[in-house]
């Protein structure tokens, strides 16, 4: 079984081949303990989204090693047969753009994943509503995605990333369209999830308000990571 915590060693990713090849990740080392929220910071084009997509099995790395809990999921090739099940059951993804399903209302956008995982409809909707309430969008629970503001859509997408209580959450600029109060609420919820469910969480962000909340930060530049202590100032 895929357990908790993340370990990445010597991860590489090359897009394309020959003259037009881009080495987006050259040498990435990273670890996230269960219950920990770490920041991932770096300039545009430095490889942040590429790193999250590799770890989330959305794209194939070119080399290196990735471990979730005590299971090696990638070692110079995927070691997991069912990548779709890995994505569905182990990884909560909050993308840079919210990608809601246009023909489902807000509640069902969030409740769909637990329903697919076999949770009864009523229970799935109750879990969805609990998160929507924590993210302060419960009043839009019956609206369609096209009727929401950008920030509301993003909060629904965050609820969807968290609803299955996955052991790993990968959030790519989750607070970009939010005001600072709501951004801080998102960080509070992520820290709360981490503590309650021993989730390992990586948050990509440029948000100056959020960066001081991390205890540990990874900087990435030209596809290479460096670890740094954060301020760990908390988020009240
Ligand atoms: N599908 C792709 N094909 C070719 N090159 C790509 C692809 N996706 C990303 N790249 C390149 O890989 C590098 C890293 O891109 P990535 O999206 O990971 O950056 P990022 O750190 O997330 O940037 P941003 O802060 O702008 O979101 C960039 O040079 C980018 O142009
Ligand atoms: Mg990106």
Mean pLDDT of 77-98: 89
Contact at 8 Å (CB) between 16 and 59?
no
pLDDT at site 4: 77
Which residue range forms the structural domain that includes residue 89?
6-229
Tens digit of pLDDT for each residue in 115-159? 988 999 999 999 999 999 988 999 999 999 999 998 899 999 999
Integer Rg of the chain from CA = 17
- Decide whether any atom of ligand 1 lies within 6 Å of the 205 Cβ: no
- Nearest ligand to the C-alpha of residue 60? 1
Q: How far is the CA of 42 from the centre of ligand 2 (A)?
A: 10
Domain membership of residue 235 (yes or no) is no
Can you give the pLDDT at residue 233?
A: 82
In tens, the pLDDT along 187-201 reads 998 998 899 889 999
Does the CA dihedral 45-77-83-72 come out positive or negative?
negative
86 in any annotated domain: yes
Average pLDDT for the chain: 92
Q: Is 98 helix (H, G, I), strand (E, B) or coil?
A: coil
CA of 125 relative to ligand 2 center, distance in Å? 31
Nearest atom, ligand 1, residue 53 CA: 18
Is residue 8 within a helix (H) or strand (E), and if so which, with residue range?
Answer: strand 6-15
Which residue owns the Cα nearest ligand 1 atom 18? 47
Predicted structure pTM score: 0.91
Handedness of CA 108, 105, 145, 185 (dihedral sign): negative
Taking CA atoms only, the protein residue closest to ligand 1 atom 19 is 45
Backbone angles phi, psi at 165, to 5 degrees: 45, 55
Q: Is the residue at 1 inside a domain?
A: no
Does 168 map to a domain? yes
Q: From CA 87, how far away is CA 133, in angstroms rounded? A: 25
Helix (H) or strand (E) holding 73: strand 71-75
Ligand nearest the Cα atom of residue 50? 1
CATH classification of the domain holding 134: 3.40.50.300
Work out how many domains the chain is built from and give that number. Answer: 1
SS3 75: strand
Per this entry, what is the length of the chain? 236
**Strand 200-204 relative to strand 168-172, pairing:** parallel
Give residue 235's pLDDT. Answer: 67
Within a domain: residue 234?
A: no
Tell me how many degrees the CA angle 125-131-137 measures, rounded to the nearest 5: 95
In this structure, which residue's CA is closest to atom 25 in ligand 1?
A: 44
Categorize the per-residue pLDDT at 236 as very low, low, confident or very high, splitting at 50, 70 and 90.
Answer: low
DSSP state of 65: E
């Amino acid at each position: 079984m895929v357990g908790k915590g993340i370990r990445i060693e010597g991860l590489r990713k090359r897009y394309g081949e020959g003259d037009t090849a881009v080495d987006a990740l050259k040498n990435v080392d990273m670890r996230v303990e269960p219950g920990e929220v770490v920041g991932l910071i770096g300039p545009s084009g430095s490889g942040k989204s590429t790193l999250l997509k590799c770890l989330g099995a959305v794209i194939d790395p070119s080399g290196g090693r990735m471990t979730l809990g005590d299971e090696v999921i990638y070692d110079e090739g995927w070691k997991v047969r069912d990548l779709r099940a890995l994505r569905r059951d182990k990884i909560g993804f909050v993308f840079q753009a919210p990608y809601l399903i246009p023909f489902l209302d807000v509640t069902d956008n969030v409740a769909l994943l637990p329903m697919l995982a076999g949770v009864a409809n009523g229970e799935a909707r109750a879990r969805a509503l609990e998160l929507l309430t924590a993210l302060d969008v419960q009043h839009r629970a019956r609206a369609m995605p096209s009727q929401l503001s950008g920030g509301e859509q993003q909060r629904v997408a965050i609820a969807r990333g968290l609803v299955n209580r996955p052991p790993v959450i990968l959030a790519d600029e989750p607070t970009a369209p939010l005001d600072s109060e709501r951004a801080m609420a998102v960080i509070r919820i992520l820290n709360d999830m981490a503590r309650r469910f021993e989730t390992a969480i990586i948050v990509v962000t440029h948000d100056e308000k959020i960066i001081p909340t991390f205890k540990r930060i990874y900087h990435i530049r030209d596809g290479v990571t460096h670890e740094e202590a954060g301020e760990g100032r908390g988020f009240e």
